[in-house]
Amino acid sequence: MKNLPRHIIFAAFAFLFFTSSAAVPASETLEPDPEFQKTALKTMKEMWNTVRDRHYSKSLPGVNWDDIYKEYLPQVKKCQDQSELLAVLNRMVKELGLSHIYVLPPENSLTKKAISACREARKNLPAPSSAALRVPGNPGLTLCLADGRVCVLRVKPGLPADKAGIRSGDAIVGINGFVFDAKKKSEIPWDVIATHMLVGYPGTELSVDIENAKGEARTIKLKCVADGSRWLQIGAMPPIPGTFYSEIISEQIGYIYFSPFFPEQSVKIRDALKGKLKDVKALILDVRNNPGGMLIIPHGIAGWLSDEELEFGKMPIRGTTLTLRSYPQDNAFAGPIAVLINNGSGSAAEVFAAGMRDNDRAVLVGEKTSGQCLPSVFLFLSTGYRLQTVFGDFIRKNGAGIEKIGVDPDIKAKQKRSDLINGKDCVLEAAEKYLLEKLRPEQ
C-alpha cells in the first residue's frame, strides 16, 4: 500500500453528511450582507470546479456541468445565510446522481455549534471537563428496521435505556420531537437516522418517544453516557463515533460488531481474534448500519481472516486503475465466516462484504446493502466550507459494480418485530445456524 496516492486514505463514507449534522447542528444563521454573498458565490464556483476536476471520469454521461451551474446560480445569489446556501449546493450536487458528494459547513462554525449545544444540554449540570467532550455518548440502544418500524434490536445492560425499562422490540416513534415514519422512502435508512440522533456528548439529554410490545406509548428522558467508544476523524471529515463489541455467542462461534472502517477498529479486530476469540471455530462479523470508512481497511482486515491473498476489486481513478488485495497475516483465522449486512451497510462495508463473498471466504446474511459505494475525499475549500467529493469508482472482483446496485446476501433474513420482542435477532440466528451446520462433522 506504500505507493497508493495519499488521497486514497480518505475513502468513502456513505451518509456522512447526515451523520455529522445529526450529532451536532450543521448550520448557523447569518445576517444577510454583501460579504456573505461574495462567500456564497466563491464557494459555489470552487465547489463545482473541484467536483468536476476530481471526478474519475473526464466527462459524466448525461450531465451538462455548465447548464447545472447556470440553473443554480440565481438560487445561490438569493441565499441569505449559511443554512440556505448548504441546502442549495447539496441539491445542486445531487443532480449528478452520485453518492458521496456533499458540502458541509466550515469547521469553526460546527465547533461553535457543538460547544453551544453541549452547554445548553447541560446547563443544570456541573461544567464538563475537556476530556469528557472528547468521547461520544449514547443511552445504550442498538436499532434496526422491523415491519416498517424503527425498533430496538439490543439494549446494553446497565446503561440509561436499560434502566428506563426499554426492551428489544420496542418501537422508537421519535427523538427530540422528530417523528419517524419508516413506511416512507428515505435516501438514508430510518434506523440509521435514528441511531445517529442518539449520539451526543456525555450528559446530553434526549427525549425519546417509545411504544412497547403492548402498544403502550410513553416519552422517556435518556442521557447519553460514555461507553468506551471514541470520536474518529481524519482531516476535514466530520467526527463519527467508533463502536466495537465482541463476544462468544456459543462455544464455537465468535461475534464481532464494529463501525466504521478505521485503523483503530482493525486493531481491535486483530486483538479480539488473538485474545477473547482465539479458540472459536467460526466467526460472525456484523457490519449492519456500518456507514463505511477508509478503503484501505476492508482488505487490511481480511489479512487476519484468510491465509491466502484475496483480491477485493479494482478502483478506477483518473489516469489509472488500482487493484485492492489483502496481505495474509501469520495465524490468520481459518474457520468459516458469516458477514451480516443490511440497507444501512454502505461504502467500505459494502466493499468488505463483496470482497469476502467474491473470494468464497464468507457467506453474506441479511438484506441488500445501500449501493452507495464510491471512493471519496474530504477537502477544505478556501472559504472554509468542506467538501466530500468522488475521485474513483469501485468494481468488484466478479466484475460487477456496487454504486446504485448494492450487494445481495446469500441468505436473506429480515427482522420481524415479533422476533425482537421475544429477544431474537433473526439475522444473527440465521448466520449462527449456517455456521453450526458448516461445523457439523460430515456423516
Domains and CATH numbers, the chain: 1-106+229-438 (3.90.226.10), 137-226 (2.30.42.10)
pLDDT, residue 188, reads 79
C-alpha cell at 312: 477485493
Residue 273, amino acid: L
pLDDT, residue 60, reads 79
pLDDT, residue 185, reads 77
Who's near 300: CB < 8 A, 6+ residues apart?
A: 263, 266, 326, 327
**Consecutive 10-residue averages of pLDDT for the chain (443 residues):** 35 40 38 82 96 85 90 94 93 91 74 43 44 75 93 95 96 93 80 89 92 96 89 74 92 95 94 96 97 91 96 91 94 96 95 97 97 89 93 93 96 96 96 95 61
pLDDT, residue 9, reads 34
C-alpha 356/C-alpha 360 separation (Å) is: 6
pLDDT, residue 57, reads 81
pLDDT, residue 32, reads 53
pLDDT, residue 286, reads 98
pLDDT, residue 117, reads 44
C-alpha 268/C-alpha 265 separation (Å) is: 5
pLDDT, residue 121, reads 45
Max intra-chain CA distance, the chain: 80
Which DSSP letter does residue 6 get? G
Positive or negative, the CA dihedral 100, 102, 106, 109 is: negative
C-alpha 305/C-alpha 362 separation (Å) is: 10
C-alpha 233/C-alpha 388 separation (Å) is: 14
Residue-wise over 141-155: b if at least 16 C-beta within 10 A, else e? bbbbbbeebbbbbbb
Task: Provide long-range contacts, Cβ within 8 A and 24+ apart, for 359-362.
Answer: 359/306, 359/310, 359/311, 359/312, 359/397, 361/302, 361/305, 361/306, 361/310, 361/337, 362/285, 362/305, 362/336, 362/337, 362/338
